[in-house]
Amino acid sequence: MNWFISPSSVGIVDFPAYLAGVIFTILFPGPNSLYVLAIASLKGWRAGAWATLGIFIGDAILMMGIALGAATLLNSSPTTFNFLRMLGAAYLAWMGFGFIRGGLARWHGTQELVLGDSRPQYFNTLHPTIAALTLSLTNPKAIFFFISFFTQFIQAEYAYPVHTFLYLALVLQIVSMTYLISLIFAGQFFLSFFNRHPHYAAALWFLVGTLLIGFAGKLLLY
């Protein structure tokens, strides 16, 4: 079981640099973390936990796809890659408009809010796990990021590169889940705060929606 303790025993080069890169990459705001924070702020920690599970599953599927050759398929088929890219952008934009509609409704105090349902209608259409899983899987750029990032830390001469890849993937998932759990706790604070200050909540939902639409545009321009 020594390979659990020593990264070098599974062909990893400069593990401290890899760990630092993982932390900084995960801390950089993206649609996954933005969604977890937003839905935990809207619906509480259980919804945030379900969303985190969806992202965990989605990232695991993407990493398994890399091991099975999905990146080669996307490289050899521009049509498939472009289809996934447009699908991901459309999904991000749809989410963004849902946030904006909910923010505008909350700001103006529509009848829906008067009746006590202060959540954007978007969040009543998909289970958080399904929404987060789809968000993770409809980003083909993640596949190429994992490949380009992981390969920098794999010894070329190591006999079992799959073991190395799995080790790196496990570390990334642990760091990612730790960060997302911290966002759930942050969301719990915002939940009570926004219940007391609905206009601040409306401004945040509008900001989140705008950022998601921005991520959609960035994906299309890739």
Whether 214 is in a domain gets the answer: no
pTM: 0.69
Whether 55 is in a domain gets the answer: yes
| Band of residue 11 on the pLDDT scale cut at 50, 70, 90 | confident
What pLDDT is attached to residue 55?
Answer: 92
**Residue 22 exposure: Cα atoms within 13 Å on the Cβ side:** 22
Q: Which residue has the higher pLDDT, 91 or 4?
A: 91
Whether 43 is in a domain gets the answer: yes
- CA angle (15, 30, 106) in 5-degree steps: 150
Question: What domain range is 121 assigned to?
Answer: 30-77+109-196
What pLDDT is attached to residue 80?
Answer: 67
**Does residue 169 register a pLDDT over 90?**
no
| Band of residue 54 on the pLDDT scale cut at 50, 70, 90 | very high
Answer positive or negative: Cα dihedral of 171, 45, 137, 219.
negative
Q: What are the phi and psi torsion angles at 201 (to 5°)?
A: -60, -45
CA separation for the pair 7, 95 (Å, rounded):
39
Structure tokens at 196: 């007391």
Whether 86 is in a domain gets the answer: no
**Does residue 213 register a pLDDT over 70?**
yes
**Residue 23 exposure: Cα atoms within 13 Å on the Cβ side:** 6
Q: What are the phi and psi torsion angles at 154 (to 5°)?
A: -110, 125
Whether 133 is in a domain gets the answer: yes
What pLDDT is attached to residue 124?
Answer: 52
pLDDT (average), residues 74-86: 68
CA separation for the pair 41, 24 (Å, rounded):
24
Closest CA to 173 of 32, 70, 5: 32
Whether 12 is in a domain gets the answer: no
The predicted-structure confidence for 99-157, as pLDDT tens digits, reads as follows 787 777 767 664 344 334 444 444 556 788 998 898 888 776 677 677 777 777 777 67
Whether 34 is in a domain gets the answer: yes
User: Rounded mean pLDDT of the chain?
Assistant: 75
**Does residue 46 register a pLDDT over 80?**
yes
What pLDDT is attached to residue 1?
Answer: 47
**Does residue 4 register a pLDDT over 60?**
no
| Band of residue 202 on the pLDDT scale cut at 50, 70, 90 | confident
Domain count, the chain: 1
What pLDDT is attached to residue 53?
Answer: 94
Q: Which residue has the higher pLDDT, 204 or 14?
A: 14
The owner of tokens 């920690």 is: 45
Strands (E), 82-207: none
What pLDDT is attached to residue 75?
Answer: 58
